[in-house]
């Protein structure tokens, strides 16, 4: 294997687009891995650490684009690199779309704009966000690696100007029906969502859609907003905005447990809210009792979505869930638990999760922990449950493949499933594994066929277990709506054809996986 690289001077493209280009390049004959990044010192170091030889000697500046390929032959790599202008062409877009290179040019072309999307390397993200705020724009800050000091400064500045910063590391928002980042196709409706996580927003908004209601707005706030270091600045602004919005009748707040001081601020604000508020703080040990008429406290995403739909006057029906904190499987699933458990060999007792969605990974840990099992992760519920080596699972283990350690130099697993497929095979090679737990995320910007990308690995994993006389249960959930471009039914069928048992929510998949291994740790 060899490395070939080129520098494209003064060429900027956003990170989501570059991830998709890298994925397409890696699919070319003879190309083993591909990276397409802005040439920041951190990005170049990440590539060097990932084995891209010579990238640190390219002489690239922070304004340049670096394309680096690990390939079987030099000729094959050069053939791809010589055609990079074609690879970097975007779709023409809607008629009348205007290409601009600066914020000032964008505002001149579209002076009525009130929102800027910032997706640049973390070293420059705070400066670009500050420029947008100074221009009177709200900010959707997709970039990560923004310091907490910069986050606090930006959010305080936004609050003073009557603006909001969504992020940093904000994966999803839906504003006035327009999806930003990794969002799904959902109808407009009376439920407003505030989320510190992208896939949490995606799961709840798609459930609300599938259960017959709709979304007014979904406002991402970034994973650190509810920490005591930030104090819930964007969350409080979002509650104010949704309370004032005539199209919103119910508000949902999704997060990991807030900091102690911030929780008090949020609870006080909810108590004063004129609209019902549903909260879901994943990871807390028990639901908090409603202290006033405005609050409904839930512990999982299904319960949060169901409570919101009912408060908005809807009925979740047979596919929905009640507001209780656990959801029993239906009769068919109960039968499936017995069937799957009976097929396991002695010694098969562990759940291994390979997730693209960090929030779904976190929720699944809560389900397994609440069942009395010890579960570890690279992004654990408690610090003492952190995997010693994120690339090697032990016991019950759920891995968030979207964490920074897996995406440095590689596309996010919602864009490219290659690393997840490799990890699925690695987990299947462990004779003690009984259940593989997977999530499939649909929507804008995600892979065009995530189930199809994982199907060969699922088949191979099940075949490995069969060859040694065992059985492997694969429980997969799909987060998406019927309107998503990947096709909800198509994705479901591809998973089933590969041998997976498919569930409509991450909660149900995690409960099923837990039921299959229940009692096998004794």
User: What local confidence, expressed as pLDDT, does residue 292 receive?
Assistant: 57
406, 495: one domain: yes
302, 198: one domain: yes
The CA-atom distances, in angstroms, between 337 and each of 136, 343, 408, 450, 516 are 55, 10, 38, 26, 5
The CA-atom distances, in angstroms, between 496 and each of 37, 58, 458, 461, 491 are 36, 47, 10, 14, 9
309-348 confidence digits (pLDDT tens): 999 998 765 444 433 333 333 434 567 899 999 999 999 9
| pLDDT(195) > 70 | yes
344-379 confidence digits (pLDDT tens): 999 999 999 999 999 999 999 999 999 999 999 999
CATH of the domain at 409: 3.40.50.261
Where does the pLDDT of residue 98 fall: very low under 50, low under 70, confident under 90, or very high at 90 and above? low
Residue holding tokens 């096709």? 487
User: What local confidence, expressed as pLDDT, does residue 357 receive?
Assistant: 95
Q: What are phi and psi of 497, to 5 degrees?
A: -60, -30
Q: Could you give the percent of the chain with pLDDT greater than 90?
A: 72
Give the number of other CB atoms < 10 A from CB of residue 102.
Answer: 9
What is the pLDDT averaged over residues 100-126?
88
Last residue of a domain, one of 262, 280, 311: 311
Contacts of 115 (CB under 8 A, 6+ apart): 137, 138, 139, 140, 175
pTM: 0.85
Residue 257 placed within a domain: yes
Where does the pLDDT of residue 91 fall: very low under 50, low under 70, confident under 90, or very high at 90 and above? low
What is the pLDDT averaged over residues 496-502?
97
Where does the pLDDT of residue 293 fall: very low under 50, low under 70, confident under 90, or very high at 90 and above? low
CATH of the domain at 63: 3.30.70
78, 127: one domain: no
Cα 298 to Cα 189: distance, rounded to the nearest angstrom: 21
What is the pLDDT averaged over residues 161-182?
95
| pLDDT(216) > 50 | yes
Where does the pLDDT of residue 521 fall: very low under 50, low under 70, confident under 90, or very high at 90 and above? low
Cα 445 to Cα 170: distance, rounded to the nearest angstrom: 14
66, 152: one domain: no
Where does the pLDDT of residue 95 fall: very low under 50, low under 70, confident under 90, or very high at 90 and above? very low
What 80-88 contacts at long range (C-beta under 8 Å, 24+ apart), as own/partner pairs, is 80/25, 80/28, 80/31, 81/4, 81/5, 81/6, 84/6, 84/8, 87/21, 87/24, 87/25, 88/8, 88/11, 88/13, 88/21
Q: What is the mean pLDDT of the chain?
A: 90
218, 296: one domain: yes
180-192 confidence digits (pLDDT tens): 999 999 999 999 9
Residue 36 placed within a domain: yes
What does 313-379 look like in DSSP terms, one character per residue?
T---TTTS--SSS-----HHHHHHHHHHHHHPPTT--EEEEEES-HHHHHHHHHHHHHTT--EEESS
Residue 60 placed within a domain: yes
Which residues does residue 166 pair with via DSSP β-bridges, in sequence order? 140
What is the pLDDT averaged over residues 247-252?
98
Residue 130 structural domain: 103-311
Which residues does residue 479 pair with via DSSP β-bridges, in sequence order? 441
User: What local confidence, expressed as pLDDT, does residue 289 receive?
Assistant: 55
Residue 485 placed within a domain: yes
Residue 432 placed within a domain: yes
Residue 324 placed within a domain: no
Residue 352 placed within a domain: yes
226, 122: one domain: yes
300, 166: one domain: yes
Total domains present in the chain: 3
Q: Could you give the percent of the chain with pLDDT greater than 70?
A: 92
43, 186: one domain: no
296, 337: one domain: no
233, 139: one domain: yes
435-445 confidence digits (pLDDT tens): 999 999 999 99
Q: Among candidates 276, 296, 280, which has minimal Cα distance to 190? A: 276
| pLDDT(3) > 70 | yes
79, 192: one domain: no
Last residue of a domain, one of 87, 119, 139: 87
What is the pLDDT averaged over residues 73-96?
78
Give the number of other CB atoms < 10 A from CB of residue 108.
Answer: 11
Cα 68 to Cα 4: distance, rounded to the nearest angstrom: 6
Where does the pLDDT of residue 85 fall: very low under 50, low under 70, confident under 90, or very high at 90 and above? confident
57, 182: one domain: no
Alpha helices in 88-176 (DSSP H): 103-109, 122-134, 148-161
Last residue of a domain, one of 41, 63, 87: 87
User: What local confidence, expressed as pLDDT, does residue 245 receive?
Assistant: 97
What is the pLDDT averaged over residues 380-392?
94
5-41 confidence digits (pLDDT tens): 999 988 877 777 888 888 889 889 999 989 998 888 8
Residue 219 placed within a domain: yes
User: What local confidence, expressed as pLDDT, does residue 322 receive?
Assistant: 37
């Amino acid at each position: 294997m060899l490395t070939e690289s080129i520098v494209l001077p003064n060429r900027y493209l956003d990170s989501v687009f570059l991830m998709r280009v890298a994925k397409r390049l890696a699919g070319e004959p003879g190309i083993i891995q591909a990276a397409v990044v802005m040439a920041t010192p951190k990005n170049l170091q990440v590539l060097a650490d990932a084995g891209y030889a010579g990238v640190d000697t390219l002489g690239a500046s922070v304004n340049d684009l670096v394309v680096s390929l690990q390939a079987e032959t030099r000729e094959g790599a050069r053939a791809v690199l010589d055609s990079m202008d074609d690879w970097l062409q975007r779709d023409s877009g809607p008629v009348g779309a205007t290409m601009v290179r600066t914020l000032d040019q964008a505002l001149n072309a579209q002076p009525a704009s009130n929102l800027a999307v910032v997706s640049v390397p973390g070293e420059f993200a705070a400066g670009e966000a500050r420029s947008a705020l100074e221009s009177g724009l709200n900010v959707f800050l997709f970039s990560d690696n923004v310091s907490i000091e910069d986050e606090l400064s930006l959010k305080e500045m936004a609050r003073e100007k009557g603006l909001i910063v969504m992020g940093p590391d904000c994966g999803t928002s839906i504003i006035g029906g327009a999806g930003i980042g990794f969002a799904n196709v959902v109808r407009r409706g009376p439920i407003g969502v505030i989320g510190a996580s992208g896939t949490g927003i995606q799961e709840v908004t798609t459930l609300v859609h599938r259960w017959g209601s709709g979304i007014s707005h979904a406002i991402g706030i970034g994973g650190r907003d509810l920490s005591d270091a930030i104090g819930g600045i964007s969350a409080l602004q979002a509650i104010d905005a949704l309370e004032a919005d005539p199209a919103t009748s119910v508000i949902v707040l999704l997060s990991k447990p807030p900091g102690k001081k911030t929780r008090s601020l949020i609870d006080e604000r909810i108590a004063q809210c004129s609209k019902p508020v549903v909260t879901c703080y994943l990871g807390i040990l028990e639901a908090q009792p409603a202290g006033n008429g405005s609050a409904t406290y839930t512990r999982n995403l299904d319960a949060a979505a169901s409570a919101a739909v009912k408060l908005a006057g809807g009925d979740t029906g047979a596919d929905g869930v009640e507001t209780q904190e656990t959801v029993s499987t239906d009769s068919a699933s109960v039968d499936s638990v017995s069937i799957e458990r009976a097929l396991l060999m002695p010694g098969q007792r562990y759940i291994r999760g390979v997730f693209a969605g960090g929030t779904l990974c976190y929720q699944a840990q809560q389900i397994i922990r609440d069942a009395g099992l010890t579960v570890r992760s690279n992004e654990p519920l408690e610090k003492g449950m952190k995997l010693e080596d994120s690339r090697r699972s032990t016991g019950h283990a759920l891995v968030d493949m979207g964490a920074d350690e897996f995406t440095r130099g590689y596309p996010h697993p919602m864009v490219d499933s290659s690393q997840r497929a490799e990890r699925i095979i690695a987990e299947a090679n462990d004779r003690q594994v009984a259940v593989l737990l997977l999530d499939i995320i649909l929507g804008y910007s995600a892979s065009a066929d995530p189930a199809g990308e994982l199907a060969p690995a699922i088949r191979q994993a099940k075949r490995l277990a069969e060859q040694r006389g065992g059985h492997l249960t694969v429980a997969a959930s799909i987060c998406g709506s019927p309107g998503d471009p990947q096709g909800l039914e198509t994705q479901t069928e591809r998973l089933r054809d590969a041998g997976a048992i498919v569930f409509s929510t991450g909660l149900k998949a995690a409960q099923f996986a837990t039921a299959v291994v229940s009692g096998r740790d004794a």
